[in-house]
Structures are given as C-alpha cells and as structure tokens.
C-alpha cells in the first residue's frame, strides 16, 4: 500500500535545475516530509562526520507558529522548499497544457510505535518550523505552497538552504513595527508604535527627535538620534505581553472584534502596561512614559544630553536599563493602570547616588552586562 498525492504544478526553469511549484494540504505535507538535521555522528576509528542540512528544530519557534496558524489572518506567502527523489515522482502533461505531479510513498511500520506510517519521500530544505507548527496545531487543511527540487543531491540541497537563510537581507525591525500604523484593530505592536511616535514627535518630550524611525536617520534631522524605533517599541512591549504567543493571541483577538478581559492585580504587577493596552488608553500611556523619562532627564540633565563619546544614558543600553527599571519604580508608586506624575517618579530617582559623570562605558560597558549593571544600581533606590 502506498500514499498517492497528485497536484498541479508549474515548472520554473532555473540554472540549478527545474523547480516545480504547487500547493499541498498541510497534513499531506507533514506525512511525507522529513527533516534532515545537521548533526555530528561518530563513524569507525573515532572519526566524526557532519551529516544533514537542516538546523535543529526550535521548540519555542514551533510553539509560536502553532499559535499563529490558528489566528484569523494566518498566512505563509513564501514556499516550503522540498527535495524529492525522481523515483517517487511522475510528471504528466494534460491536453490543456497543465503539468500534473504524482508523489508516491510506501507504507512502512511507524518507528514511533504507531500502527502505520509512510516512508518520508520529501527532504525539507526550508520550512521545517512551519510544517511542524501546523502539525502541532492540528491544522490539516491549511494549503501550503511548495517548491520542489527533483533529484537534487545533498550538495545542491545545502547550497539552496544556505542561499535562503544567509543571502537574504533581513528586514529592519523598526520598519516592521512602523507598518503597524496601518492596523485598524488594536494590538500591542500598534499601541507601542503609537506611543513611540508620540514621544519622538511631541514638542517638549524628553525623547523628542531622538528616535530613528525605520531604523535609519530621519530626513531633515541633523542632531544625533541615539535610539532605534525597534528598541523603544520592544521596551514598551516587554511590559504589555509576556511572550510572543500572547502577542499573537492579542492581535488575533482584536482582529476577530472581541473585547479584551481585564487582568488580576497580580497579573498587572507583572505586566505593568498591559491595562493601558487592554483599555485602549494610548494617550495615557504616552503621558506616563513622558513623565518617567522627564524625571530621568531632570535627575541627570548632563548625562541625558546626546553628544560626545562614552555617554550611555541616552543610548540603547541606558534606555534598556531604564525601561527594565520602570516596572520596579512604577510598582513602588502606584496600582498598575494609574498615570504617575514626573514629580512622583523624581522622588524615586532622587534617592539614587549615581551622578551624571558615572554614566560612561567604563562603569557600564556596551552590551547586556552594562545594561544589567545599571539596572541593578537603579534597583538599590527602591531597596531591592
């Protein structure tokens, strides 16, 4: 007995060889596909060889995709790339010129202990996390576009994998977050983006003209912009959602037009900006963050100025330490959901023994070590 799959395909002639493009139901895909993991295997005479092409599956990534494919706007516009042996493929051209591909897979005992299993005939070159996420979510009828290489040897498979994963230019996170300005429904990213723009553009803001929108220098600005849009947005998001799964769920919930439920006091103490998001209080959230960073500016006016080398407070490391400390300062002062004044935040910072001259890269070096050191020094002001 064998598994038979048939689908219409389009042939794309390319220098590496013909590529066949079609669609396949997700269940069929995970039943015939195998992940050829790159691993080190011991051979005879203590010789170790590296085999396979794929990276190891990331459980976190699989879980995020499993959550994503159940949302209302889930889509995979790019193809899963497969390599299939010519022995398992037959191609026929119909009278109307359409090309049909048939795939065959023999039924074999399931090594995992199930009653049946199909011998995998397709090696996944790119897309293993998407396939596994669909399988984990039980989405059997999600049509996936596939690009199939027939009889590609291991060298060609490795070359395609490297091209797909290394040769592409990564999109700036700042650009991605900026696109949420088009969103017509509420989402943590949209709210964080809106607040970020307010802090950057409003006259008198402590962060006015300091944020590079789209990750590059803003046209018409000649003063330094020490922060990227992504840094600010991700800092705000860290106090709105616990992880990416919750971020996906929130976005989907809003797209379905459902009202968000409130959270408990315990939950609100952990995610101190979440109530502002849930109730759509963007303006209040922007005011709160304005007041917080205005208190920083007043406590350390010299260190807050952008200019010169070695200053870290107004830059990425300083911002990340300050946004981490925000949770502790805010919980010290109020019940989450309240708007705290600049003066109230100032009372926290006035306790600090850190001086303007201390904010240098010798005391707080670049990277997470400097960020963490400053965060811990700030924690001392609230007795933690």
Task: Extract the tokens encoding 107.
Answer: 């039924």
In this structure, the strands spanning 122-126 and 33-34 are parallel
pLDDT digits (tens, 9 = 90+) for 213-254: 887 888 888 788 899 999 999 999 999 999 999 999 999 999
Distance in angstroms (rounded) separating the CA atoms of residues 9 and 7: 6
Q: Quote the pLDDT of residue 221.
A: 81
Which residues, given as ranges, of the chain have pLDDT below 70?
1-2, 36-55, 106-120, 161-162, 164-170, 308, 384
- The 8 Å CB, 24+ separation contacts for 241-246 are 241/188, 241/271, 241/274, 242/270, 242/271, 244/64, 245/63, 245/64, 245/67
Distance in angstroms (rounded) separating the CA atoms of residues 217 and 223: 10
Q: Quote the pLDDT of residue 38.
A: 42
Q: Quote the pLDDT of residue 115.
A: 41
By three-state DSSP, how is residue 56 classified? Answer: coil
Report yes or no: 213 and 223 within 8 Å, Cβ to Cβ. Answer: no
Q: Quote the pLDDT of residue 312.
A: 92
Report yes or no: 268 and 215 within 8 Å, Cβ to Cβ. Answer: no
Q: Quote the pLDDT of residue 247.
A: 92
Torsion over CA of 232, 233, 234 and 235, rounded to 10 degrees?
50
Distance in angstroms (rounded) separating the CA atoms of residues 352 and 369: 20
Distance in angstroms (rounded) separating the CA atoms of residues 177 and 188: 10
Q: Quote the pLDDT of residue 201.
A: 92
Instruction: Tell me the chain's radius of gyration from C-alpha atoms.
Output: 27
- Taking Cα atoms as reference points, which of 257, 111, 266 lies closest to residue 186? 257
Its pTM stands at 0.78
- The 8 Å CB, 24+ separation contacts for 53-56 are 53/123, 53/125, 53/154, 53/157, 53/158, 53/161, 54/124, 54/125, 54/128, 54/161
Report yes or no: 169 and 67 within 8 Å, Cβ to Cβ. Answer: no
By three-state DSSP, how is residue 152 classified? Answer: coil
Q: Quote the pLDDT of residue 112.
A: 54
Distance in angstroms (rounded) separating the CA atoms of residues 330 and 333: 5
Q: Quote the pLDDT of residue 103.
A: 85
HSE-CB at 24 with a 13 A cutoff on CA atoms is 29
pLDDT digits (tens, 9 = 90+) for 157-167: 777 766 766 65
């Amino acid at each position: 007995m064998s598994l038979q799959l048939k689908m219409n395909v389009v042939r794309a002639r390319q220098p590496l060889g013909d590529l066949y493009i079609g669609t396949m139901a997700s269940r069929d895909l995970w039943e015939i596909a195998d992940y050829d993991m790159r691993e080190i295997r011991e051979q005879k005479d203590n010789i170790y060889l590296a085999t396979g092409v794929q990276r190891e599956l990331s459980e976190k990534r699989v879980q995020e995709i499993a959550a994503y494919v159940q949302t209302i706007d889930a889509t995979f516009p790019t193809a899963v790339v497969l390599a299939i042996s010519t022995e398992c493929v037959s191609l026929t051209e119909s009278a109307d010129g359409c090309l049909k591909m048939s795939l065959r897979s023999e039924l074999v005992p399931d090594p995992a202990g199930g009653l049946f299993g199909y011998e995998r005939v397709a090696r996944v070159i790119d897309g293993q996390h998407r396939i596994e996420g669909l399988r984990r979510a039980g989405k059997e009828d999600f049509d996936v576009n596939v690009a199939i290489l027939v009889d590609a040897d291991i060298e060609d498979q490795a070359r395609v994998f490297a091209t797909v994963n290394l040769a592409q230019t990564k999109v700036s996170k700042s650009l991605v977050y900026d696109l949420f300005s088009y969103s017509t429904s509420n989402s943590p990213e949209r709210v964080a983006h809106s607040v970020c723009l307010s802090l950057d553009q409003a006259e008198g803001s402590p962060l006015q003209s300091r944020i590079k929108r789209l990750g590059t220098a803003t046209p018409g600005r000649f003063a330094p912009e020490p922060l990227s849009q992504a840094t600010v947005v991700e800092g705000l998001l860290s106090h709105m959602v616990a992880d990416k799964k919750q971020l996906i769920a929130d976005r989907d919930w809003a797209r379905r037009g459902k009202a968000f439920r409130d959270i408990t006091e315990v939950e609100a103490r952990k995610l101190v900006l979440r109530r502002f998001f849930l109730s759509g209080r963007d303006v209040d959230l922007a005011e709160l963050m304005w007041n917080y960073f205005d208190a920083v500016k007043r406590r350390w006016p010299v260190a807050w100025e952008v200019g010169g080398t070695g200053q870290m407070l107004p830059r990425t490391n300083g911002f990340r330490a300050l946004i981490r400390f925000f949770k502790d300062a805010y919980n010290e002062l109020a019940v989450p959901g309240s708007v705290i004044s600049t003066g109230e935040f100032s009372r926290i910072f006035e306790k600090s023994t850190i001086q303007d001259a201390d904010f240098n890269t010798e005391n707080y070096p670049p990277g997470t070590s400097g960020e963490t050191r400053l965060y811990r020094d700030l924690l001392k002001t609230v007795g933690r």
